[in-house]
Amino acid sequence: MANKKERKGLPVLLTLTVAALQVVHHWTGPVSVALYAAGDEWPLVQAYVRFLRRCYVPVRDRVTFHAAFPADRMPEAAAQPEQMTEILSLEAHLDCFRPEPSLKELMRQRRPETMRWRTRHGYPQNHLRNLARRTCQTEYVFLVDVDVVPSLGLAQGLNEFLKNAQCGGASAAAPPAVLPRPPRTGAGPRVGQRPGPPQCAFVIPTYELDERVRFPRNKSDLVRLAGKGLARPFHHKVFIYNQFATNFSRWQNEGDADNAPVHVAYNVTNFEFLYEPFYVARDTIPAHDERFMGYGYTRNTQVYEMFVAGVQFQVLSPAFTVHWGLQSKQARPAWRELQNNENRRHFDLFKREVAVRYRRDPLSMVQPNRASGKT
Ligand SMILES: *[C@@H]1O[C@H](CO)[C@@H](O)[C@H](O)[C@H]1NC(C)=O
Ligand SMILES: *[C@@H]1O[C@H](CO)[C@@H](O)[C@H](O)[C@H]1NC(C)=O
Ligand SMILES: *[C@@H]1O[C@H](CO)[C@@H](O)[C@H](O)[C@H]1NC(C)=O
pLDDT digits (tens, 9 = 90+) for 41-55: 999 999 999 999 999
What's the rounded Cα separation, in Å, for the pair 244 and 256? 21
* Residue 61 near residue 37, CB atoms below 8 Å: no
- For the CA of 270, the nearest atom of ligand 2: 14
**Angle 41-55/81-92 helices, nearest 10 degrees?**
30
**How far, in Å, is the centroid of ligand 2 from the Cα of 248?**
9
Q: What is the pLDDT of residue 53?
A: 95
Confidence of residue 2 (pLDDT cuts 50, 70, 90): very low
What's the rounded Cα separation, in Å, for the pair 208 and 216? 11
* Residue 366 near residue 349, CB atoms below 8 Å: no
Q: What is the pLDDT of residue 346?
A: 93
The average pLDDT across 321-337 equals 82
Residue 12: HSE in the Cβ half-sphere, 13 Å Cα cutoff: 12
Q: What is the pLDDT of residue 12?
A: 38
224 ligand 3 Cβ < 6 A: no
Cβ-based neighbours of 150, under 8 Å, separated by 6 or more: 6, 23, 26, 27, 142, 144, 204, 319, 321
Instruction: Read off the pLDDT of residues 3-16 as tens digits, 9 standing for 90 and up.
Output: 333 333 333 333 45
The average pLDDT across 230-242 equals 83
Q: Nearest-CA neighbor of 126 among 333, 296, 338?
A: 296
Strand partners, 209: 231, 324
272 ligand 2 Cβ < 6 A: no
Q: What is the pLDDT of residue 181?
A: 42
Nearest CA to ligand 1 atom 14: 267
Residue 80 carries which DSSP code? -
Mean of pLDDT over the chain:
83
Q: What is the pLDDT of residue 10?
A: 33
The average pLDDT across 223-248 equals 88
CB under 6 Å to ligand 1: residues?
167-171, 200, 267, 312, 314
Confidence of residue 120 (pLDDT cuts 50, 70, 90): confident
* Residue 126 near residue 289, CB atoms below 8 Å: yes
Nearest CA to ligand 3 atom 11: 258
